[in-house]
Amino acid sequence: MHTTLPIFQEIPTHRPSTPLLDKVNDPFQLRLLSEDQLSQLSHELRAYLLYSVGQSGGHFGAGLGVIELTVALHYVFNTPDDRIVWDVGHQAYPHKILTGRREAMLKIRQQDGPAAFPARDESQFDTFGVGHSSTSISAALGMALAARLQSSGRKAIAVIGDGALTAGMAFEALSHAGDTAPDMLVILNDNDMSISNNVGGLKNHLARILSGKTYNNVRDSSKKVLSNTPGLMEFARKTEEHVKGLMAPGTLFEELGFNYIGPIDGHDLPTLLRTLENMKELKGPQFLHVVTKKGKGFAPAELDPIGYHAINKIEPKAKTDLSTNTSNIPSPPKPKYANVFGQWLCDMAERDKRLVGITPAMSEGSDLVKFSERFADRYFDVAIAEQHAVTLAAGLACEGIKPVVAIYSTFLQRAYDQLIHDVAIQNLDVLFAIDRAGLVGEDGATHAGSFDLSFLRCIPNMLIMAPSNENELRQMLYTGYEFQGPACVRYPRGTGPGVEIQKEMNLLELGKSKEVMKGTKVAILSFGALLSAAELAAKNLNATLIDMRFIKPLDTNIIDQLSKSHTLLVTLEENVIAGGAGSGVSEYLNDEGIQTPIIHLGLPDAFLPHGKHSSLLDQCNLSGQGIEKSIRKKLNEITL
């Protein structure tokens, strides 16, 4: 049995004492410890993870659940020569702590600090850059096949969660691994009890037997003896399969060509160590099913693993006297753009019984929880299966249903073929509510919605809108819903400027912009949420400011007017400049032979690092001051 250590009730605000952990700056040093010391090391690692995330903010629920597994993997395998690929990477904080980044973790997700996910350019122990789910088995398979081609003998291990295993890509990789049969290990970190809810001493004992040399040697010898007797060979194979089937839910993985072991308790270090040591020596594709508890060792996270998936930095509480200073009474928080969408979806569902909501495992993030409760029969969470989500919507639309697909910009990239082939070509009536458009700050390049305007704008039949505030979002969602054909509304993470949201819903005139400010010389055409920054620049420049609203169709009438009455046109968007909304304006000007000077302001041709959203905008000259600076520079060039 594994040693029972105290459970944390709160996040430490002072650095805990970690004498063993302090000695480990490299897994080589971890492997110098005795097995008896690993339980205490795991406890110290859990304490430090809690402390560091409290100082920096970030993901920690998944990391708490794989403390023992992480220790065991680095203890048994010769990392970094042996390759460990963490799926998604939310659970990789303990891995980072053990691989030379312990003190740097206090600045994780901050500018110049460690990335939120494993990154190849950050450490040799981060063997594959991740952030999106369900890629680990494919990557580890590639590494295992390379090891076979190079005769290197190195091991390849993929660690994937039960949620990530729902994606088709994971099963494509499992199928290919079963066919090519390299020496590799897939570890299923089952922290939701979604495959098995029965773990105990008997199953741990079975896992040790099935992964042991004696059992596997006997099995292999028996196969050789029986190979000339097909009937007996088939009988032995089925007998083994049925015995395993009585004890373990691994038949599917066995059929795919894997040797399935488990499930075992992922917090039982002795069992983990013995099983991994045994499986390390086995040939061919191996599958280890490990059951863990998300948030393990931190009581609040064990009770609420979703709520404690990630936390913000713990700030010191300010002392205020509300009885004498009413100005200190906090105002109600502004609704996030996602909240505006969630409320609109419920309101629209009340009005139209044809509406259904679809999400690829983003219910909380996209604010679909209330909708899922109120309209359960019209809510479809397809798990991590973005391609399926889009084609499911297409199938529903074929039958007169009105699907609304709530999806993050960065994840819509994964369903691009379905967007074109299954929705746009057939001109189907599907509304895409595209959340997290633009930069997302601390999560970095893997989660930034930097490209959607570029990859959407080139698709025929698309209606594309970008709101500048919360009320615009509500009206655009309604407009897109009523539009006959594929429609997209892209909006950013977090809160907007705080405008009043109208209860009534009004159709916007398609392709019609809105004048915000009248000026001379310079005309700023703003697409989306950077309008507030554009207002600051426009005031200082006495510029005309237009909220363009529509990326497709463009308001070509206003472009015609402004090109005749202004010296310089400026397009502004929180999307890459290449192929974005500004490119559409230039294409129109070129087609019409209009020679008015124009500059495009947006995201550069680069993958931007993680950091505060405001700081990243400053780097890209997309703050009010940066916009003004870029425009003045261009004006000077024109007048020279």
Peptide bond into 403 cis (omega under 30): no
Q: Give the E-state strand segments of 577-627 in sequence order.
A: 598-603
- Is residue 424 within 8 Å of residue 486, measured between CB atoms? yes
**Cα(571)–Cα(517) distance, rounded to whole angstroms?**
15
**Cα(8)–Cα(191) distance, rounded to whole angstroms?**
19
> Of 44, 386, 535, 574, which residue is the catalytic one?
386
* Cβ-Cβ contacts under 8 Å for 285 (sequence gap 6 or more): 177, 178, 181, 182, 183, 184, 186, 257, 258, 259
CA dihedral (458, 460, 462, 465) positive or negative = positive
Check if 414 is active-site.
yes
Q: Give the E-state strand segments of 106-209 in sequence order.
A: 156-161, 184-190
**Cα(470)–Cα(61) distance, rounded to whole angstroms?**
31
- Is residue 338 within 8 Å of residue 440, measured between CB atoms? no
- Is residue 313 within 8 Å of residue 56, measured between CB atoms? yes
480: helix, coil or strand? helix
479: helix, coil or strand? helix
Which helix (H) or strand (E) is 311 found in, with range?
A: strand 310-311
Work out the widest C-alpha separation in the chain, in whole angstroms. 92
575 HSE (CA, 13 A, CB side) = 29
**Cα(185)–Cα(138) distance, rounded to whole angstroms?**
12
Which helix (H) or strand (E) is 161 found in, with range?
A: strand 156-161
Peptide bond into 263 cis (omega under 30): yes
Tokens at 507, concatenated = 């159709």
**Cα(244)–Cα(203) distance, rounded to whole angstroms?**
10
**Cα(483)–Cα(476) distance, rounded to whole angstroms?**
10
In what order do the strands lie in the sheet containing 487-490? 379-381, 355-359, 402-408, 431-435, 487-490, 463-465, 550-552
Check if 294 is active-site.
yes
Q: Which amino acid is at 246?
A: L
Tokens at 497, concatenated = 């400027």
Tokens at 547, concatenated = 């909220």
- CB count, 10 Å around CB of 85? 27
> Of 83, 101, 203, 414, which residue is the catalytic one?
414
**Cα(197)–Cα(203) distance, rounded to whole angstroms?**
12
* Cβ-Cβ contacts under 8 Å for 122 (sequence gap 6 or more): 101, 114, 115
Q: Which position has the token pair 């099995």? A: 219
Check if 296 is active-site.
no
> Of 294, 378, 474, 634, which residue is the catalytic one?
294
Q: Per DSSP, what are the bridge partners of residue 599?
A: 570
- Residue 619's closest CA among 628, 608, 629? 608
Measured torsion, CA atoms of residues 12, 64, 306, 492, in degrees rounded to the nearest 10: 80
**Cα(617)–Cα(492) distance, rounded to whole angstroms?**
13
Tokens at 524, concatenated = 């700023």
Active site residues: 294, 386, 414
